[in-house]
Homo-oligomer: A and B are copies of this chain.
Amino acid sequence: MTIDLEALYTDLHRHPELSFQETRTAGVVTGLLAQLGIEYEEGIGRTGIAAIIRNGDGPVVWLRADMDGLPVEERTGLAYASTARGVDPTGLDVPVMHACGHDMHVASLIGALERLVATKDEWSGTIVAVFQPAEEYGAGSQAMIADGVFDRFPRPDIVLGQHVTPLPAGTIGVRSGTQMAASDGLTVTLHGRGGHGSRPHATIDPVVMAAATVMRLQTIVSREVDPRDVAVVTVGSIHAGLKNNIIPAEAKLELSLRYPDDEARAKVMQKVERIVRAEAQASGAEQEPVIAVDHSLPPTINDDEATTRLSRAFDTAFGAGTVIDPGMFTGSEDVSWFAREAGVPLVFWFWGGVDAGAFRAATEAGTIERDIPTNHSPFFAPVLQPTLSRGVENLVVAAREFLGERG
């Protein structure tokens, strides 16, 4: 059979699943792998899958796609928009959406495997395709490693991966060195003292404590980091209280931090802790706040030589000027654990999913940020084509660049 990739993509888009819950997605993937006659193992790192195409001597190339959706309520208005819901780790029922394009990653990798199987006489070596869960938790690649993916499959000579992004369709963005930031996810629990909403003086108000903390955390980036350095301190969630007339006993903040390296990480972490503790003291808190690191992602660093080689291959395949340097992204990824663990080069690139005309118009109008929804937005919606076909071709070109040639 020939796989209908557009049908695959829209089906995945309609049925996003939260991190470590990608069971339906895994079912779709393994079903197609079986159709393609590709050997695989599933349930690696809970819901992960690794598949292998052995094709004689030559390098081992790992191709990685991530599978999970996000707790975002889709507002794209697409015919194939998601109305799915899921239960998050705290037990909350939430909307789910492929707001980061992992559906495009999965469909592209399936398409690339189909093409590589069909052209086995042109190349030699081994392909390992990794369908990774829980990238959004920064936990999926480590889960697969902990679950023995390196014991069960040949170790890579190179790890390759890609991400769809709001660049004009047709463009590939990649750079040597730090491509994506290091990142930590923190949960901060602030302890006040609860009581009646009409008697604030008998309480220690954790809502005010949280608000003051959020305002003060802004000063890390605005005042304490060299304006020439990259740093992000985002409070992505804030939760306290159940009712207007009860002052709750605690508040929870979830923070996402970004920096280019470990030294910057250490400094920002110390500043966050200093501010959180001092703001609790300013409130007269009787109990220290608790700061937990939920996940910690290394910077995504592209290998110099391999990146140069691959950039040239892309420009050759798709035309000069295809590859641009997008600069360092402040987003983070856990793909690099595969390469770090194996001690081999990584190349991780971005490809464009925005209609080129729309992108140009928004650029000229200076309305990029308003008009072009970014990853994680409820409006995030890559154009179906040429994004999907290019997602497939990117992987084929990249894999072929690092595999052996035949004939």
Interface residues of A (CB under 8 A from B): 70-72, 88, 91-94, 99-100, 136, 181, 183, 185-187, 193-203, 205, 207-208, 210-216, 218-228, 230-249, 251, 254-256, 258, 271, 274-275, 277-279, 281-284, 294, 327-332, 369, 373-378
Say yes or no: B198 contacts A258, CB within 8 Å. yes
Query: With A207-B238, A221-B227 as given contacts, are A245 and B200 in contact (CB-CB < 8 Å)?
Result: no
Query: With A221-B227, A245-B136, A284-B271 as given contacts, are A198 and B234 in contact (CB-CB < 8 Å)?
Result: yes
Chain copies in complex: 4
Q: How far is the CB of A335 from chain B (nearest CB, A)?
A: 15
A233 to B211, CA, bound (A): 15
Find the B residue at minimum CB distance from A207: B235
A230 to B208, CA, bound (A): 20
Say yes or no: A239 contacts B238, CB within 8 Å. yes
| Chain B residues near A249 (CB-CB < 8 A) | 378
27 A-B residue pairs with CB within 8 Å: A70-B246, A94-B242, A183-B245, A186-B244, A194-B377, A198-B256, A199-B226, A200-B232, A200-B234, A201-B225, A205-B223, A207-B237, A211-B211, A211-B214, A221-B222, A227-B231, A228-B330, A234-B245, A236-B248, A237-B243, A237-B248, A238-B240, A238-B251, A274-B282, A278-B281, A279-B282, A282-B282
Say yes or no: B238 contacts A244, CB within 8 Å. no
Say yes or no: B254 contacts A241, CB within 8 Å. yes
A218 to B208, CA, bound (A): 9
Max chain B C-beta neighbours (<10 A), residue from A242, A255, A277: A242
Say yes or no: B224 contacts A200, CB within 8 Å. yes
| Chain B residues near A378 (CB-CB < 8 A) | 194, 249
Q: How far is the CB of A200 from chain B (nearest CB, A)?
A: 4
| Chain B residues near A224 (CB-CB < 8 A) | 200-201, 284
A283 to B186, CA, bound (A): 21
| Chain B residues near A327 (CB-CB < 8 A) | 228
